[in-house]
Amino acid sequence: MRIALDARAIFSPKPRGTGRNLADAHRLIPALRPDWEFILYHQRDARHCPLLSPPSNALHAQAGLCSHPNVRTRRIDIPGDRFGLWFQARLPLAAWRDRIDLLHLPANAAPAWCPVPYVVTVHDLIPLRVAGQTTRWARQAFRRGLERALCNAAHIITPSNATRDELHEEFGLSRARVTVIPWAPDQDIAARLGDDERQEAIRRVRARYQLDKAWLLNFSGSSRRKNATGIVEAVARSAPNLRGGLLVVFVGCEPPAVRAKLEALAERLGVRSCFRFQGFMPHEDLAALLSGARGLLMPSLAEGFGLPILDAFASAVPVLTSNLSSMPEVAGDAAVYCDPHDPASIADGIMQLLDDAVAKRLVGRGIARVRAFTWERTAAAICDAYEHCLALQPTVARASRLWNSGKMPEPPCAR
């Protein structure tokens, strides 16, 4: 069998959650199916991809993504890639010419035309669920791409039951057409360091980022759903003695306009000295930054999974997160919960997180809970989903031909 992956997220110069998740899973998948061939389609020079080499921590024995004999990368491009033509035309054409048996589309959408069967990963419905998250045009485009994917995909993968249930509520998608495959902690972050090595790494990031107090960490980014403003407002409501001995470090505040807006809000509320607003950081700094933190703040308005929660558990760091979306599903009884729409609730959660007895209890629960999330289980489940799709190939191909010809009166996702 020949399996292909839209691997653009893996080849990004600054790979984020999806790219790292795909890389962690696909380091293991080829060894589980050595008689299959895997092709990674991309648009960038592989020499500059930080995820193609073996994990950086020497304690990690996993092979690099491209070290398996049954894996090859293929760079395909299109001049002046406008209107999504790489995804809509170049990728499907390459899959057809390469006689791909199954194409994995890992980012919520499918092309309008695809001559080979495909499986789609739907991470979340955030553009449809969070007001002000994106423009009206982008929201409509997201819905169209998602509807097309749900109608024509051989199967759907989601990282959480929450996303699966939202697909059922929003589109009437049968739950039987969905496999829930959770992610696992980042392999570099989860790798256990010796205590001396860990303390030295923490000292380095403390000096590099001028962290002269204890800190809480938030992976912010530019997305409204990450609720950075809610954290700033919550800190402003906290007791002055608590604020005086603490920093909140925001990571991923890009572009600069996002950072400037948060800085202005903190200045206006009189708590600017309580924050460090950082852009994208080198991945090698994140493990120490997280493991040295007093806690992880993740009061998001919505998540498709909530991977930083597992990273914090693996790093023995207590977590504050939201009481909605997928986050309780991931965190279980190992986190402090808040209402992300209420800064007072977030402030109360921060105060609980900083209580030593509460933090100790949460760390123990988190270490126990994270053992249930492994990349070995994730990789095996993805292989099973691929095999399920391959077994359905004749039915899927016929349904796709009928749908594209206009002879199918109702999409498969409505059945």
State the CATH number of the domain containing residue 131.
3.40.50.2000
Whether residues 162 and 255 fall in one domain: no
Of 6-15, 41-50, 116-125, 199-208, the range with the lowest mean pLDDT is 41-50
Model confidence at 396: pLDDT above 80? no
Whether residues 223 and 169 fall in one domain: no
Whether residues 209 and 307 fall in one domain: yes
Calpha distance 383→26 (Å, rounded): 10
- Work out whether strand 336-338 and strand 319-322 pair parallel, antiparallel, or are unpaired: parallel
Whether residues 318 and 391 fall in one domain: no
Whether residues 66 and 97 fall in one domain: yes
Model confidence at 411: pLDDT above 50? no
The conformational region for residue 33 under phi > 0 = left, psi -120 to 50 = alpha, else beta, is: beta
Please report which confidence band the pLDDT of residue 231 belongs to, taking 50, 70 and 90 as the band edges: very high
Instruction: Name the strand (E) or helix (H) holding 408.
Output: none
Q: What is the mean pLDDT of residues 240-246?
A: 85
Q: What is the mean pLDDT of residues 333-349?
A: 97
Calpha distance 60→64 (Å, rounded): 11
Return the pLDDT at 192. 57
Whether residues 52 and 153 fall in one domain: yes
The residue range of the domain holding 256 is 191-370
Look up the pTM and report it.
0.88
Model confidence at 122: pLDDT above 90? yes
Return the pLDDT at 65. 75
Please report which confidence band the pLDDT of residue 99 belongs to, taking 50, 70 and 90 as the band edges: very high
Q: What is the mean pLDDT of residues 18-33?
A: 91
Of 17-21, 96-100, 168-172, the range with the lowest mean pLDDT is 17-21
Rounded to a whole number of angstroms, the distance between the first and last alpha carbons of the chain is 29
Whether residues 350 and 384 fall in one domain: no
Of 59-68, 156-165, 270-279, the range with the lowest mean pLDDT is 59-68
CB-based burial label for 48 (10 Å; 0-12, 13-18, 19+): exposed
Share of the chain above pLDDT 90, in %: 67
SS3 assignment, position 4: strand
Provide the H-helix boundaries in 99-227.
126-129, 136-152, 161-171, 187-190, 195-208
- Work out whether strand 295-298 and strand 275-277 pair parallel, antiparallel, or are unpaired: unpaired
Calpha distance 310→337 (Å, rounded): 15
User: From the CB of residue 325, how many other CB atoms can be counted at a distance below 10 Å?
Assistant: 27
Whether residues 64 and 6 fall in one domain: yes
In the structure encoding, which two tokens stand for residue 143, read together? 């819905």
Q: Measure the CA angle with vertex 218, ends 48 and 128; round to 5°.
A: 85
Return the pLDDT at 193. 57
Whether residues 272 and 291 fall in one domain: yes
Whether residues 155 and 204 fall in one domain: no
Please report which confidence band the pLDDT of residue 194 belongs to, taking 50, 70 and 90 as the band edges: low
Return the pLDDT at 197. 82
Calpha distance 66→45 (Å, rounded): 14
Whether residues 249 and 308 fall in one domain: yes
User: From the CB of residue 404, how many other CB atoms can be counted at a distance below 10 Å?
Assistant: 15
Return the pLDDT at 413. 42
Please report which confidence band the pLDDT of residue 243 belongs to, taking 50, 70 and 90 as the band edges: confident
Model confidence at 186: pLDDT above 90? no
Share of the chain above pLDDT 70, in %: 87
Please report which confidence band the pLDDT of residue 400 belongs to, taking 50, 70 and 90 as the band edges: very low
Calpha distance 310→324 (Å, rounded): 17
For 36-56, what is each residue's pLDDT tens digit? Answer: 999 999 986 655 555 555 444
Model confidence at 59: pLDDT above 90? no
Return the pLDDT at 190. 59
SS3 assignment, position 9: coil
Query: What is the residue-averaged pLDDT of the chain?
Result: 87
Whether residues 235 and 365 fall in one domain: yes
What is the number of domains present in the chain? 2
